[in-house]
Homo-oligomer: A and B are copies of this chain.
Amino acid sequence: MRRVFYRNSNGKVEERGDFTGLSELLKNPHACLWVDLEGEPPEALEAVAREFGLHPVTIEDLVHRNQRPKLEEFDGYIFIVAHGLRSIQGEEVVTDEFNFAVGENWILSAHDSHVEAMKRVYDQVAAAPKALDGGGSFIVYRISDLLVDSYFPALDALEEEIDALEDDVVQRPTQGRLHQIFALKRVLVHLRKLVSPQREVYNALSRRDHPYIDPKSAVYFRDLHDHLIRANEIVESYRDLVSNMLDAYLATISNRLNEVMKRLTLLATIFMPLTFITGFFGMNFTAMPFTWNWLLWTTITAMVITPLAMLVWFVRSGWIGEGSTERGLPRLLAWLFPKW
């Protein structure tokens, strides 16, 4: 779908069905033309691009998409690629890619996906007679603003996910949490690759020295640049947080292994001697005093008291159940079989 907005020398903006007589229009330095191409097939894109006299390199970029954010100067126009963030689904980061070619008194914008918020831009351009006064700068700014703003809700959602995961990781460090951590890592790798070059694009636009960009709009692009610096810092701090999370996960796993082994050692400490004693009196030597009843009772008493005494000692000395709020037997049980 294509929409065409034309401002004549008198400053009146009208929406046209299509752009005919492009060359005359462009010859009039007081007129201004905006052509927005949404989801057009490659051939159509190429045809339009040729009419505007774009360089073959630009045409290739327009047709193939999947460009990284960039700003390139050509004879007669500058070419800008910027991405908005449509959604983050699991590990998949989906973006809205916009390509702009901005000339002296025209601007060509192309994108594949339908972006709801674009309607506001169309309405504003149609309503405000001065919207196309400074050439295409205003359009670039208005759309860029939409694109840049689209990062923040997604980043907020990521933050909530990270916060939720952070608690989970130390409570229940399962293999599933691990998957989530690495999915987050991949999303952040992707986001950084997106935000960081885009920041450079708006930095360049805010430097006031680009042709075809109205110097008055530099301050707006600086604002976008500032937003993207912030987005970038947020992504970097998330990377730090997710790295911390992985460290926390591994440390928790190590802790638990330690606890499991302490548990096993405790069991062996208690039962190995006991089993030895029962084995001892299970020997068939005839000389053994199997008829001494007091020996039997002493043995049994020792078998009961020794493990209990050891457990009491373990609990008291803080060897087991340290950090538990309970005391005595519940502490022992809570330590032996925590609710993992």
Residues of B within 8 A of A189 (CB): 237, 240-241
A253 touches which of B57, B247, B258 (Cβ 8 Å): B258
Pairs across A and B, CB under 8 Å, 17 listed:
A68-B230, A68-B233, A170-B179, A186-B244, A189-B241, A193-B233, A257-B261, A260-B262, A264-B265, A275-B279, A278-B282, A279-B282, A285-B293, A314-B337, A317-B340, A318-B340, A319-B338
Chain A contact residue count (CB 8 A cutoff):
90
Residues of B within 8 A of A290 (CB): 284-286
Interface flag for A128 (CB, 8 Å): no
Chain B: CB-nearest residue to A340: B319
A175 pairs with B323, CB closer than 8 A = yes
Give the interface SS of chain A, mostly helix, strand, loop or mixed: helix
Residues of B within 8 A of A317 (CB): 337, 339-340
Alpha-carbon distance A8/B334, docked complex (angstroms)? 75
A264 touches which of B261, B271, B275, B338 (Cβ 8 Å): B261
Residues of B within 8 A of A70 (CB): 226
Interface flag for A207 (CB, 8 Å): no
Interface flag for A72 (CB, 8 Å): yes
Interface flag for A158 (CB, 8 Å): no
Interface flag for A20 (CB, 8 Å): no
Copies in the complex: 5
Task: List A207-254 residues whose CB lies under 8 Å from chain B.
Answer: 219-220, 222-223, 226, 229-230, 233, 237, 240-241, 244, 246-254
Residues of B within 8 A of A190 (CB): 237
Q: Contacts A226-B70, A339-B319: A283 and B282 contacting too (C-beta < 8 A)?
A: yes
A220 pairs with B57, CB closer than 8 A = yes
Chain B: CB-nearest residue to A307: B276
B170 pairs with A175, CB closer than 8 A = yes
B258 pairs with A256, CB closer than 8 A = yes
Residues of B within 8 A of A268 (CB): 264, 267-268, 272
Alpha-carbon distance A290/B284, docked complex (angstroms)? 6
Chain B: CB-nearest residue to A166: B182
Residues of B within 8 A of A164 (CB): none
Alpha-carbon distance A247/B254, docked complex (angstroms)? 13
A287 touches which of B182, B271, B291 (Cβ 8 Å): B291
Interface flag for A263 (CB, 8 Å): yes
Chain B: CB-nearest residue to A260: B261
A241 touches which of B55, B186, B222, B248 (Cβ 8 Å): B186
